[in-house]
Structure 1
Amino acid sequence: MNSANGAAVVVGVDGSEPALRAVRLAAAEAARRHRPLRVVHGFIWPLLRVAGSPPPGAPPGAGLRKQAEELVSAAVAEAETAAPGLRVSGEIIDGEAAAVLLGESPTATMIVLGDRGLGGFAALVVGSVAIQVAAHADCPVLVARGTQRSVGPVVVGVDGSALSQAAIEFAAEEAAVRGARLHAVHAYTHPTSSGPGDMLPLVYEESMLRDEEDRILAESLTGLSDRHPQVPLTREVVHGRAAAVLTEAARTAQLVVVGAHGRSGLTGLLLGSVSQGVLHHADCPVAVVRSPT
């Protein structure tokens, strides 16, 4: 995450209702972190060789670029209403939405966007822009999903991998600025065969397996309370699939934080199965955090 002084929270807008929800969420986030808010719209029409200016004789206010200016102005006004006194700016950038937001990510504190936009298909729970940006951004990505709550814990999924450490640190920061409890959740299932010839024991000692999973969670959280002493920390080890466990935890959370890839992630996937599952089903905003490369 870019922690330079003055780095803005960036929110992508397209005039849709999910984007306006994202604006309100981003305004609250920027206010909590004492950062400016930057409202960005990706103006795709020049790439498609479509004129953004109105044709001769068109009425005042016509033209695609004028419409883009109006939706950015409306989003800026929405943010200023949601967080009075917040420094808010807006900009139209020529380009496709995901590419524009990814271009913002190296210098942003975080990127916030709606789960779906105007170009979304009805069958998709989370739009392609949200998936692409969450998978590739150089900063945390906050997706406005479900119910925005001001109470409840910040939940973070922990899988014991080095990749989840960035998610844990970000979740602790979020809990601190929100004055919330941090609830670290580690989900596990029984071992499964990884291929032909992989012999597994016929009987598992459940208590031994549980002890090992407890150890994984404890080691992942080593030193966290020293680094964030103001954040109350609870931990939970749950037998079950991680996406389902975290989705259930989201029912009472104000935020769920996941890593872009976990212990079993495949590098060819845009996002790991756990992060995708949580993005599709969580009933609260979801933050996806990539490890620094």
Structure 2
Amino acid sequence: MADNADPTTGFDPAHGSENGIVVGADGSEIAYQAVAWAAAEADRRGWPLHIVTSYASPVGRGDTPLTAEDMAEVRSQGQQVLADAVRMARHTVPGDNLRVSTELIFDMITTALIDRSRQARLIVVGNRGLGALRRAVLGSVSTALARHAHCPVAIVHGVSETEAAAMAKPVVVGVDGSPNSVPAIEMAFEEASLRKVDLIAVHAWSDASGFDLPVMGWDAIHRNEDVLLESALADYTERFPDVVVRRVVALDTPVRALLEQADTAQLVVVGSHGRGGFSGVVLGSVSTALLHMAQCPVLVVRRPSQTRAEDPAGQ
């Protein structure tokens, strides 16, 4: 169930998610920061921005049916969340170039966002929150979207830094040598090129406790793994000659290696699953850890075959 909540935009909310960015708003500070980040990204790419909020399942109501008065109240609260979110988007991207639409729904937010991800190019949410999304804690929403969305998903943590100093920071990408990391590499190059910043490609050699090294020693391993990393990036360094790439081969766990680089980055890009240079670690566990631990936005990019195979609608 959806309402046309922003008739002044001249943009049909029923089709607002097509070929654009969809962002979930819930009335929390972190969700508004997600809106700001999504607005900046939409402006950078020339895509429309579609803001969605839900007024389903208010906190404290449990299974008690809502009266007409209750419905009117929560609907009004949802409209206020959308109005505030639009103001945040317009504050982030002044002027009239950014196309913004809104949608107020009475459906579970996770299911709704997964459904809208079929037409969207990117879904954006905060990593936690309550607000007008009520009982749907954004921590669970972000995790579900990272696993099941049909397009890339960006999870914003804390304050979304959109000022010039923060936007000069590099983009970081995790490279594990598997086919599942290829879409993440491509999108990381695109993001670095659009932002005109460096790209740090991180490859973790081992996650084994103690890091027992073969006879050849770490120096030889580092050289071999760096060659593999360079090969994995080769096609994209040719396609994006404007992007300066720094390769990092770490003797560490994938999570620690990526978090170390994330401390000074504006964005971390990872695949949702994978094997290879991360030494047997399923990247699903890595991406899930980053969703909760990284301080900068995390962009999870899934292969098209994954979105079909893991479509919850088909389960």
TM-score (norm 2): 0.78
Name the count of aligned residue pairs.
Answer: 270
**What is aligned with 2:188?**
171
2:226 is the counterpart of 1:211: no
1:48 offset after TM fit, Å? Answer: 5.8
- Structure 2 match to 1:248: 260
Cα RMSD over matched residues? 2.8
Residue pairs, 1:23-38, within 5 angstroms: 23-38=35-50
2:198 alignment partner in structure 1: 181
Gapped runs of 5+ residues in structure 2? 1-16, 132-136, 306-315
Q: Is the 8 A contact 2:18 2:120 kept in 1?
A: no
Tell me the residue number matched to 2:291. Answer: 279
CA drift of 1:265 comes to 5.4
Displacement, 1:255? Answer: 0.5
Cα distance per residue 1:61-116 (max 9 Å; x no partner):
95111111111111112111111121111101231111111011111110110010
| Aligned 1:142-157 pairs, distance under 5 A | 142-146=154-158, 148=161, 149-157=166-174
* Structure 1 Cα separation of the partners of residues 258 and 51 of structure 2: 30
Judging by fraction of residues, say which structure has more helix.
2
Please point out which of 221, 240, 245 is paired with 1:228: 240
The answer to whether 1:100 aligns with 2:112 is yes
Q: Partners in 2 of 1:134 and 1:26 — Cα distance?
A: 16
1:135-158 Cα offsets, whole Å, 9 max, x none, are: 111111111114522121000010
SS at match of 1:71: helix
TM superposition shift of 1:167:
0.4
Write the distance in 2 (CA, Å) between the matches of 1:111 and 1:190. 30
Contact 1:115 1:126 in 2 (8 A): yes
| Aligned partner letter, 1:115 | N
1:83 to 77, 81, 93: 93
Question: Aligned partner of 2:227: which letter?
Answer: R
62, 66, 79: which one aligns with 1:51? 66
Residues 45 and 7 of structure 1: is their aligned pair in 2 closer, same or farther, counting only changes over 3 Å?
A: same
Displacement after TM superposition at 1:165 (Å): 0.4
The residue type equivalent to 1:153 in the other structure is P
SS at match of 1:163: helix
Q: Please, which moves more after superposition, 219-228 or 127-136? A: 219-228
Give a deviation string over 1:235-269, Cα, whole Å, max 9, x none. Answer: 11111111011111011101011111121355xxx
Identity of aligned residues (%): 44
**Does 2:139 correspond to 1:139?**
no
State the SS of the aligned residue for 1:252.
coil
- Structure 1 segments unaligned to the other structure (5+ residues): 56-60, 120-124, 193-199
